[in-house]
Structure 1
Amino acid sequence: MTILRKPMLRRFTAALAFISLAINTAYANSSQVGIAPVARTTLKESILFAIDRDPSISQQAAQLGIGQAQIDEARSGWMPQISLNGSTGHSQTTDSSGSLKNSAAWGLSLTQLIYDFGKTNNSISQSSAQRDSYRYQLMSTLSDVAEKTALSYVEVKRYADLLQAAKENVQALKNVEQLAKLRADAGVSSTSDELQTRTRIAGMQATVAQYQAALNSARARLAVLTGMQAENYSPVPANLAVEPDSLNRIDYSLIPAVMAAQNMERSAQYGVETAKSQHWPTLSLKGGRTRYESDNRSYWDDQIQLNIDAPLYQGGAVSARVRQAEGARAMASSQVDQARFDVLQKASVAQADWTGARGRMEAGKQ
């Protein structure tokens, strides 16, 4: 994984987020097209095409929509609940004045939540934090797709350069072979030099074939990711180079995977508060108007009541839900640490690979 400089990381992440919002709706209803040939492409173009093509981005965008719907559902708890009800069949009411037989009833009822000791508000906050986590998961998916594409692009450039160098070595060895043949024909040297050169040419030609196969494989992987097969690939931008002290300057607050885990932890904390609030009563206002059809007369029943629903004993169900929520919070907290660990591990491997590659390149120049 290449470590980007901080300003570039901000611009890159913001650009990817903007692009994803623009393409996800259209892509969700479209099918993937085949691989189109193009004359030339760049790393930036390859990443943009890969984002437009990868189905995991549409999946995360759909998940983000689900998160927003969950917020709307939680907010509806503060809205009036209106329902139409009706029934038919035998119903008899008996009191000191006699009995009344009802054959049907229908009416309208309304319930308005007044206060519930944080149940609804905590549920809204929990859903909002979860929605934010989904948003950062989408950004993390964008980063993952960009990373896969960039690595494939670099592999194509790497094997293309290795193949070109191997071909040049073959040509150089052929020149040496021609010179050795001339020296042998002139009697200046033996034919062993010529035979040795031919052996080296055969070995280098095998290397050429190996690099050609690796290049074809890398081009095929990149073509599947981007949906296009380019004849030429522009050089990788030099400003993507790893800096020597990059590991000491990682800003985890800008890493989408870490931000997603942090918001999921915050959602889990609200889940604990929601579970604890189940110990407290719920205060609501209920009203209704019902029409009763009886054997001898029909009448209306109007009601408006202040209702209190207070749990006294539920067999330990609420306490069990609290423990479950606390366990989920502990898991979410460990996921934050895991996300930071994964980022540091990727960055460490990338820096080690970069240092090794630079060392080999410098050694080759000497």
Structure 2
Amino acid sequence: MLRPSTDDSYRTFDLSQFEKIEFNPQSQSTSLPVIGANTGAVSDSTQLPNTTFIQPVLPQSLSIESAVNMAVQRHPSIAQSIASLSGQNANIDVAKAAYYPQLSGQIRTGDVTSNQRGSQVFAVDATQMVYDFGKVKNSVDIEKTRLSYQQAAVLISIDDIAEQTARAVINTIRYQRLVSIYQAQIKGLQRLYTIAKLRADAGISSLADPVQAQAYLENAQAALILQESNLKQQQEKLRTLLGQDPSRFNWNMPEHLINQSQLYDNPDLQRIPRMISAQAEIALAREQRKQNNLSRYPTLSLVGSLTQAVNGPNPNNGKDDGFDSSISLSASSNFYQGGATGSRDRAASFAEQAARDRLSATYLEINDEMRNYREQIQNTERQILVLKEREKSSALTRELYEEQYKLGKRSILDLLSSEQMFFSAQMERENARFDIFENMIRYIDVTGRNRDVYGLNNIIIQGFEVKP
């Protein structure tokens, strides 16, 4: 049978071969602040107390790249988008089928208004398109453009799962650190409670001192439970994404994100899936407008017909139970459709303009998100510098207050407050550090660099490959 050959190249998306994005922003800011790689925003110079995490960690390290790779290889949302892509590729073969002969068969009765109404004729018709001014080619181009749009949808799915996984890894490490700090705080408050109780039992200080210390201790224990719950939620998120128990792994801190995020470089629009999708919509609207214009032209076809009368005369030659064959040329065209052609042309024109406006709107959204993440990172870096100084001063205050408490010059509330302030500064600094990493992950996602940063280019992802 004559039919189009299946093309599996759709499973490889070469970004370098994609239609260039037709967008020229009128203005683009190039004066951007720069954050140094060796600043306090991402350093881990301050040592935390030597305490254990809530979950036992086996000595098996796992990088953020490995976690992302595991997630994209198994997530069903990516499989769903690839299945839709495969379906769209089949639609290209449907459009190409118009190039090939079209066979049809039918049984017709005679003229029901005459004495031939009891006759029956079996007919087989074959139609081969000869020339159609490019209408079939345009239909194929439309389906290919839809395929590009669906390929962009696959990229969006891959990037979404990559971003979710990376953030889950970062937040898992975040809450492991916070749990460790709270455990150290509880240990310190327990020590202060013991000191206060011994002094109260000896009559050196008020009996209210151990009660106040116990209140601070219980408050810290309640806060620890909250952080343990947050950690568990992130681990369950990772369990869903990876299909494995995340507590088995010792997560590596992704310090390399600082350089690989290219935080202050202008992004390549050709790599951003949302921009690719918007550009594909423009191309689709353009092809549909072209299709409407081509519908005004006729289609020339070669038509062959075989008829066999099975009861009564063959109407083509009048012979009883006769056989007849014919070959003819047919030209068909829709000359007038009540103004539908002109209306479709206007609709296609507006659709193309809407697609171009969507491209502009997408660019503005991306640009706004990029600047927002840059500003958050810059402000958080300044905040970390202050928090590091606060941590140093609170550590010194903590030591001085403890000595003064033993000499009776400070109350237990002063000592407990200094203890709480010291660990609060540590927690705020750690939260700020991980806020920077989380914003970097969001920035990487917005600029379409997930596949570059997490090593997803030139590998097979559930049967789909992306080439940069």
Partner of 1:106: 122
Residues in 1 aligned to 2:192 and 2:168: alpha-carbon distance in whole angstroms? 36
1:147 equivalent in alignment to 2:163: yes
Q: 1:101 to 1:145 in 2, by over 3 A?
A: closer
Q: 1:234 to 1:195 in 2, by over 3 A?
A: same
Gaps of 5+ in 2: 1-12, 15-55, 314-318, 390-468
Q: In the TM superposition, what are the counterparts of 1:1-366 in structure 2 within 5 Å?
A: 40=60, 41-87=62-108, 89-91=109-111, 103-181=119-197, 196-231=212-247, 232-241=249-258, 246-293=263-310, 294-295=312-313, 297-366=320-389
CA shift, 1:184, in A, is: 5.7
CA shift, 1:278, in A, is: 1.2
CA shift, 1:129, in A, is: 0.9
Residues in 2 aligned to 1:244 and 1:65: alpha-carbon distance in whole angstroms? 32
Q: 1:92 to 1:164 in 2, by over 3 A?
A: closer
Q: 1:248 to 1:45 in 2, by over 3 A?
A: closer
Residues in 2 aligned to 1:347 and 1:128: alpha-carbon distance in whole angstroms? 32
**CA-atom RMSD, angstroms?**
3.2
Q: Is the 8 A contact 2:63 2:254 kept in 1?
A: no
Q: Write 1 or 2 for the structure with the bigger share of strand.
A: 1
Residues in 2 aligned to 1:244 and 1:292: alpha-carbon distance in whole angstroms? 76
Residues in 2 aligned to 1:132 and 1:259: alpha-carbon distance in whole angstroms? 8
Q: Normalising to structure 1: TM-score of the pair?
A: 0.78
> Residue by residue, what CA displacement relative to the aligned partner does 1:38-69 show, whole Å, maximum 9, x if unpaired?
95544234323332443221221111012111
> Residue by residue, what CA displacement relative to the aligned partner does 1:132-179 show, whole Å, maximum 9, x if unpaired?
110121011010011111112211111110110111122123333444
Secondary structure at the aligned position of 2:128 is classed as strand
Residues in 1 aligned to 2:261 and 2:152: alpha-carbon distance in whole angstroms? 28
The aligned amino acid for 2:104 is S
Q: 1:291 to 1:205 in 2, by over 3 A?
A: same
> Residue by residue, what CA displacement relative to the aligned partner does 1:185-229 show, whole Å, maximum 9, x if unpaired?
677665666555444333322221221121122222222232222
The aligned amino acid for 1:302 is S
Residues in 2 aligned to 1:237 and 1:280: alpha-carbon distance in whole angstroms? 61
Residues in 2 aligned to 1:78 and 1:228: alpha-carbon distance in whole angstroms? 51
Q: 1:92 to 1:300 in 2, by over 3 A?
A: farther
Partner of 1:6: none
Comparing 326-335 with 142-151, greater Cα deviation is found at 326-335
Partner of 1:31: none
Q: Is the 8 A contact 2:169 2:251 kept in 1?
A: no
Residues in 1 aligned to 2:369 and 2:259: alpha-carbon distance in whole angstroms? 13
Secondary structure at the aligned position of 1:165 is classed as helix
Secondary structure at the aligned position of 2:144 is classed as helix
Secondary structure at the aligned position of 2:92 is classed as helix
Residues in 1 aligned to 2:117 and 2:243: alpha-carbon distance in whole angstroms? 74
Q: Write 1 or 2 for the structure with the bigger share of helix.
A: 1
Q: Is the 8 A contact 1:247 1:344 kept in 2?
A: no
> Residue by residue, what CA displacement relative to the aligned partner does 1:335-362 show, whole Å, maximum 9, x if unpaired?
3234334433443443344334444443
Residues in 1 aligned to 2:69 and 2:260: alpha-carbon distance in whole angstroms? 25
> Residue by residue, what CA displacement relative to the aligned partner does 1:62-81 show, whole Å, maximum 9, x if unpaired?
11012111111111111111
Residues in 1 aligned to 2:57 and 2:347: alpha-carbon distance in whole angstroms? 55
CA shift, 1:303, in A, is: 1.9
Q: Is the 8 A contact 1:279 1:311 kept in 2?
A: yes
Q: Normalising to structure 2: TM-score of the pair?
A: 0.62
CA shift, 1:277, in A, is: 1.2
Q: Is the 8 A contact 2:57 2:250 kept in 1?
A: no
Residues in 2 aligned to 1:79 and 1:304: alpha-carbon distance in whole angstroms? 17
CA shift, 1:118, in A, is: 2.4
CA shift, 1:309, in A, is: 1.2
The aligned amino acid for 2:232 is N
The aligned amino acid for 2:173 is K
The aligned amino acid for 2:339 is G
Residues in 2 aligned to 1:337 and 1:228: alpha-carbon distance in whole angstroms? 41
CA shift, 1:283, in A, is: 1.6
Q: 1:243 to 1:302 in 2, by over 3 A?
A: closer
Q: 1:180 to 1:359 in 2, by over 3 A?
A: farther
Residues in 2 aligned to 1:236 and 1:176: alpha-carbon distance in whole angstroms? 33
